[in-house]
Amino acid sequence: MVLTDALRQEIYIPQIASGRQLFCIFLTIIFLALSIYSQTNLTQPDENTLIVNDAPEMEIFAFGKKVIVEKRAKGVLSFGGDVIIKGKVDGDVATVGGSVIQKENGFIGGDVIILGGKYLPEAKSPLRNKGKETVMYAGYEEELRNMTKNPSQIFSPTLSWSFIVQRILSLLFWFAIGLGLTTITPNAVSRSVARFQLSTLKVLGIGALAFTVSTIGVIVSFGFLPSYIGAIVGIMAFALIMLAYVFGRVTLQVSLGKWILKKFSSEKKPSETIAVLVGAFIWTLLLSIPYIWTLAVFVLFAASLGLVLTARSKSGWEDL
């Protein structure tokens, strides 16, 4: 029996349609199963709270929400919210701009890392694995909490009286630091100023490369090395960068202040104190401008590390 094309279409089209229907039904079942699974393991009673019921293989990440672990979770990281442990967390618990509250029967198997908050265990001997660390910095809790809820204010801070007062205090602080360093180590600061003016791009390039390598190195050390070794590496890198930042910022303040005074002053040898004050004012102003301040911070860190790493090459330096 020979089938015509029309008859073949009448026979095969229903088969193709039924296959597609089965495939769609299969996808629908998977989607519903995943939805039911996520709903039973993660629930949100309101927009600011996330409840974890039973998710032993799930890493929980939350932004601007309070996280409550009722039963189990693999790890918890919250930005801008508290973490309350009622059940069991096998891994690390971390929060930025919030506190970690461990209930009496709660268990934390990994490290507790808190930036801008506190670690508040209810039990005298909280249930923790031996050898795990608690890293905590309790300052700027409200600022970090608000920043994580509204990340745009990182680049564009709100102009307020407290912001103006902070800028004035920052100006006075860096003026005092600059005046102190130029008084204690005038030759070192003068040589650094000369080196930066003679080879600006070289110093910035070396510093930017060093800053990038050190940042990646710290991240890798925390991920692949034992926790205590990673913490030591992080502390050493942080101490080096901050010490370099202090010296480098003073150097850039003096350099900028002297350059401005030479351009707009008739004095052949401008006052060191006035140069420090002018440079501190300009850098404080740059670090207060929305969006511009991020580039200014990077330049400060890059120049600071570059000045430290090129400090041994003394040929051609002259005190200013």
- Tell me which residue has tokens 């929400």: 65
Side chain identity, residue 277: L
Give the percent of the chain with pLDDT over 70.
76
Give the percent of the chain with pLDDT over 90.
18
pLDDT at 5: 46
Distance, in Å, from the CA atom of 102 to the CA atom of 85, rounded to the nearest integer, reads 5
For the chain, give the mean pLDDT: 79
- CA torsion sign for 22, 25, 31, 35 is negative
Report, as an integer, the average pLDDT of 293-311.
88
pLDDT at 24: 53
Cβ atoms of 300 and 284 closer than 8 Å: no
| pLDDT tens figures, 200-247 | 888 999 999 988 888 888 878 777 777 667 778 888 888 888 888 999
Between residues 42 and 258, the one the model is more confident about: 258
pLDDT at 56: 84
- For 187, 236, 246, 249, the CA distances from 243, given in Å and listed in that order, are 18, 11, 5, 10
| pLDDT tens figures, 81-129 | 899 999 999 999 988 888 899 999 999 999 998 888 889 999 888 999 8
Q: Which two tokens stand for residue 311?
A: 């400090």
Cβ atoms of 57 and 37 closer than 8 Å: no
User: Which conformational region is residue 163 in: left (phi greater than 0), alpha (psi within -120 to 50 degrees), or beta?
Assistant: alpha
Cβ atoms of 59 and 74 closer than 8 Å: yes
Report, as an integer, the average pLDDT of 34-55.
71
| pLDDT tens figures, 175-193 | 999 989 888 888 888 888 8
CB-based contacts of 64, cutoff 8 Å, min separation 6 = 48, 79, 80, 81, 148, 149
- 3-state SS of 288-320? CCCCHHHHHHHHHHHHHHHHHHCCCCCCCCCCC
pLDDT at 214: 85
Burial class (CB in 10 A: 0-12, 13-18, 19+), 79: buried
pLDDT band at residue 55, thresholds of 50, 70 and 90? confident
| pLDDT tens figures, 239-271 | 888 888 999 999 999 988 888 888 887 766 777
CA angle 40-43-46, nearest 5°?
A: 160
User: Which conformational region is residue 64 in: left (phi greater than 0), alpha (psi within -120 to 50 degrees), or beta?
Assistant: left
